[in-house]
Structure 1
Amino acid sequence: MRQFKIAFFIFISIFIIDQIVKYGFANLGWDANGSVMSLKLAYNYGVAFSMLSFLAEYLKYIQLFIVIIGTIYLLKNRDIFYKYHIPIALLYAGGLSNILDRFTYGAVVDYFYWHYMFEFAIFNFADVMIDLAVVIIIIMQIKESRKQKNI
C-alpha cells in the first residue's frame, strides 16, 4: 500500500505540473528564445519525432487502449507494480498527460527546442518523465541481472 501512495503522489505531481506548463505554452504565450535552447510552442500530431502522425485522430484511442492493457497487466501482476512503482508512476503521468493533450488540444503540446550545435526534436516535460522511467527500469533490470549472476 505504501508503494501505491508514493506512486500516486508522483503521478499526480508530475501530471499537474506538466498540464500547467502546457497550458501556459498553449494559452499564455510562454515562448522564449535562447542561444542553446528555446521554449517554443509546437503541436505533435504523431508520437516521437512525429512518427505515425497520419494516425493523428486515432492515436489518442490507440494510446488509451495500450494504457488500459498495461493497467490490466499490472492489476494481475501486482508484484511488478510494487517493484517498479516509481518508474511506473512516471510513465503513467507522462503518458496520460500526453494523451490528455490529444483530447484537449488535438495534439501533444511540445515546447523544449534544443538547437545548439545540432537541432533536436521539440519535446515536453512528460516526454522527459517517460524517458526517465525507461532509464530507471533498464538500470533496475541490469542491477537485478548482475545480482542473479553473482548468486
Structure 2
Amino acid sequence: MPNTTLPKRASGLRYLWITLVLVILDQITKVWVAADFELYESRTLIDGLFNLTYVHNYGAAFSFLSDMGGWQRWFFTFIAVGISVVLLIWLRRNPADFWRQNLAFALILAGAVGNVTDRLLYGYVIDFLDVHYQGWHWPAFNVADMAITIGAALMLLEAFFDNRRDEHPEGKK
C-alpha cells in the first residue's frame, strides 16, 4: 500500500518561542513592580516624559470598563482565551515563511497570555509604563500591551502592503 501521508511542513508555530520570551519578560517586570513599588507609586525615569507608575487595571485597554463591578474580569479573560486559540490555529496553518504575519500573531498571543495571566492570578492587570508630556498622561501600560500593539500594527501592515499570500501556493484556498 503506498504511503499517502503528506510530508510535514514547517508552520508558524515556530514563532511561539517569541511568545514565550515575551510572556516571561512581561511577568518578570510585573512581579518586580508589584514587589518593589507601592500601589500608585511613581518613579521618574525621563523627566517630563516617562515614569514607572504602579497601577491596577480592572478593565481592558485604557481602563475601558474598569469600574463595572467585576464581571469584566471574566469577560476579558474569555475573549483573550478565545483570541489565543484562534491565533494558535492560524500559526499552525500558516507556512513558516509567512514570517511577518506569524510574528504579528506571536506578539498578539504573547500580550493576550500575559494579561490573562494577571487577570487569573490577581483579578486585574498590572500596568506600570507611564508616558506623559506637559501634564498629559497616556494610560499606563505594560510589556504585554506593547506586544499586542506592535503585533496589531504588523498585522495591519501585512494586510495592506503584502500580497505574498496571493502568490504563495499554500495561501490560495
- When normalised by structure 2's length, the TM-score is 0.72
Partner of residue 102 from structure 1, selected from 119, 129, 137: 119
Residue 78 in structure 1 maps to residue 98 in structure 2 = no
List runs of 5+ in structure 1 lacking aligned partners. none
Sequence identity percentage:
27
**Residues 29 and 97 from structure 1, CA distance in 2 versus in 1: closer, same or farther, beyond 3 angstroms?**
same
**Rounded Cα–Cα distance in structure 2 between residues aligned with 1:92 and 1:11:** 6
Aligned residues: 145
**Residues 66 and 138 from structure 1, CA distance in 2 versus in 1: closer, same or farther, beyond 3 angstroms?**
closer
**Rounded Cα–Cα distance in structure 2 between residues aligned with 1:16 and 1:48:** 20
- Cα distance, 1:15 vs structure 2: 0.7
**Residues 126 and 68 from structure 1, CA distance in 2 versus in 1: closer, same or farther, beyond 3 angstroms?**
same
SS at match of 1:52: coil
Residue 127 in structure 1 maps to residue 127 in structure 2 = no
Contact kept, 8 Å, 1:43 with 1:107, in 2: the verdict is: yes
Contact kept, 8 Å, 1:81 with 1:88, in 2: the verdict is: no
**Rounded Cα–Cα distance in structure 1 between residues aligned with 2:56 and 2:104:** 26
Residue 38 in structure 1 maps to residue 51 in structure 2 = yes
**Residues 81 and 98 from structure 1, CA distance in 2 versus in 1: closer, same or farther, beyond 3 angstroms?**
farther
- Cα distance, 1:24 vs structure 2: 0.5
Q: Which residue matches 1:92?
A: 109
List runs of 5+ in structure 2 lacking aligned partners. 1-9, 167-173
Partner amino acid for 1:139? Answer: L
Partner amino acid for 2:149? Answer: D
Contact kept, 8 Å, 1:4 with 1:82, in 2: the verdict is: no
**Rounded Cα–Cα distance in structure 2 between residues aligned with 1:116 and 1:98:** 26
**Residues 108 and 80 from structure 1, CA distance in 2 versus in 1: closer, same or farther, beyond 3 angstroms?**
farther
Partner amino acid for 1:8? Answer: L
* Post-superposition CA distance 1:92-148 (Å, at most 9, x none): 111110000011121011001122122211111110110000111111112125x97
**Rounded Cα–Cα distance in structure 2 between residues aligned with 1:127 and 1:104:** 17
Partner amino acid for 2:53? Answer: K
Q: Which region of structure 1 is more displaced relative to structure 2, 46-55 or 28-37?
A: 28-37
Q: Which region of structure 1 is more displaced relative to structure 2, 23-32 or 7-16?
A: 23-32
Contact kept, 8 Å, 2:54 with 2:128, in 1: the verdict is: yes
Higher helix share goes to which structure?
Answer: 1
Q: Which residue matches 1:10?
A: 18
Tell me how large the CA RMSD over aligned residues is.
2.6
